[in-house]
Amino acid sequence: MEKETNICVHDAIDEFIDYLGSVKGLSKNTVTSYKNDLLQFMSMEQIGAQAQIKSVTAENIRSCIGVLSKQKKAASSINRFLSAVRSLFAYCRRYGLIDKNVCEEVKSVKIPKRLPRFMTGGEVDELCAAPEKREILWGKRDKALFEVFYSSGCRVSEIAGLLVSDISGDFSSAIVTGKGSKDRIVYFEEDARLALKEYFDDRKKRFGNIPEEHVFLNQKGTALSVRGISYILTRYSGVEGTNHHVSPHAFRHTFATAMLMNGADVRVVQEMLGHSSISTTQRYTHINTETLIAMYNKAHPHGSDRR
State the catalytic residues.
Answer: 155, 179, 249, 252, 275, 284
Q: Where are the alpha helices (DSSP H) in the chain?
A: 9-22, 28-43, 58-70, 75-94, 121-133, 139-152, 156-160, 190-207, 226-237, 248-261, 266-273, 278-281, 283-299
Residue 209 neighbours by CB under 8 Å, 6+ apart: none
32, 79 Cβ separation under 8 angstroms: no
Instruction: For residues 237 and 246, give the distance between their C-alpha atoms in angstroms, rounded to a whole number.
Output: 6
> Exposed, middle or buried, 146 (CB in 10 Å: 0-12/13-18/19+)?
buried
Per-residue b/e over 112-141, b at no fewer than 16 CB within 10 Å? eeeeeebbeeebbebbbebbeeeeebbbbb
- Residue whose C-alpha is closest to residue 120's, from 261, 276, 271, 279: 261
- Residue whose C-alpha is closest to residue 151's, from 187, 197, 118: 187
Residues in the chain: 307
248-261 vs 226-237: helix axis angle to the nearest 10?
70
Instruction: For residues 216 and 207, give the distance between their C-alpha atoms in angstroms, rounded to a whole number.
Output: 13
63: left (phi over 0), alpha (psi -120 to 50) or beta: alpha
